[in-house]
Amino acid sequence: MSADSNTFESVKAAVLSAHKSTTSEEKISFYNRWAENYEQDVAVLDYCAPSLAADCISSHFSSAREAALVLDVACGTGLVAKHMKKLGFEHFVGVDGSEVMLGKARQSGLYQDLKQCMLGKEPLPVQGGRFDVVVIVGALSVGNVPISTTRDLCNATKPGGFICMTTRSNQENSEYKAALDSELRKMEEEELWTCLEVTEVKDWERAVSEKEDGYISGVVYLYKKL
């Protein structure tokens, strides 16, 4: 897809083609192809999750931001880090499955380190208990990252650190979201973390499913590790 052809219909077709990918390798291949136009395309979708997650973290983070270490999981081209940088955060480590997405993130100059990892198939390639903030935006959804990844996110976080996650609330993702909510509650019952905020957002992004029109909804979760 050329940069001048990213109309809503063309972006919708691209995203729907990704939904047809069944294996991890097919998914990664799609994201490798999409990396060049990713930021322009998600702008067409009015995708607001990266800024919402950054704002949610910012509203609760009271320590020195310039010293905080942030782990950006499924970082893509670096949209979350760009928003967090504007809010005073400076130190980022990124993890993603797509080499080409990581290349774009590297070009941003925001990350001190970038690592490739097939989330759900490989452990997070970072030291446990190291990060002040761990964030995952856009990847916790049906067909992408398994729900078990939430425990890896918690393990990577310092005691007292923050874990911010997002997911979609639309019909297509409803079963995944229900299972995710159950796991998050279970981890709270296990006293791994405590819930600080769950924000439901009506206009998350423009719908691309053939079964939905207008905008779909989404959720931002913020937890604090105990």
pLDDT 10s digits, 73-84: 999 999 999 999
Mean pLDDT of the chain: 94
Token pair recorded at residue 32: 């490798």
pLDDT 10s digits, 180-207: 999 999 999 999 999 999 999 999 999 9
Q: What is the pLDDT of residue 4?
A: 44
Q: What is the pLDDT of residue 24?
A: 84
| Least confident segment among 21-25, 30-34, 114-118, 210-214 | 21-25
pLDDT at 143 over 70: yes
Q: What is the pLDDT of residue 186?
A: 98
Sorted by where each starts, the structural domains of the chain and their CATH numbers stand as 46-225 (3.40.50.150)
pLDDT at 130 over 70: yes
173 — pLDDT class (breaks 50, 70, 90): very high
With a threshold of 0.85, does the pTM exceed it? yes
Q: What is the pLDDT of residue 19?
A: 73
Measure the CA–CA gap between 89 and 75, rounded to whole angstroms.
15
DSSP strands (E only) in 101-190: 111-116, 131-136, 157-168
Measure the CA–CA gap between 144 and 129, rounded to whole angstroms.
25
Interval 152-160 mean pLDDT:
98
DSSP letters, 22-81, are -SHHHHHHHHHHHGGGHHHHHHHTT--HHHHHHHHHHHH--S-GGG-EEEEET-TTTHHH
More confident residue, 6 or 11: 11
pLDDT 10s digits, 10-28: 999 888 887 777 788 888 9
Burial of 120 from C-beta contacts in 10 A (0-12 / 13-18 / 19+): middle
Helix (H, G, I), strand (E, B) or coil at 16: helix
pLDDT 10s digits, 47-78: 999 999 999 999 999 999 999 999 999 999 99
3 — pLDDT class (breaks 50, 70, 90): very low
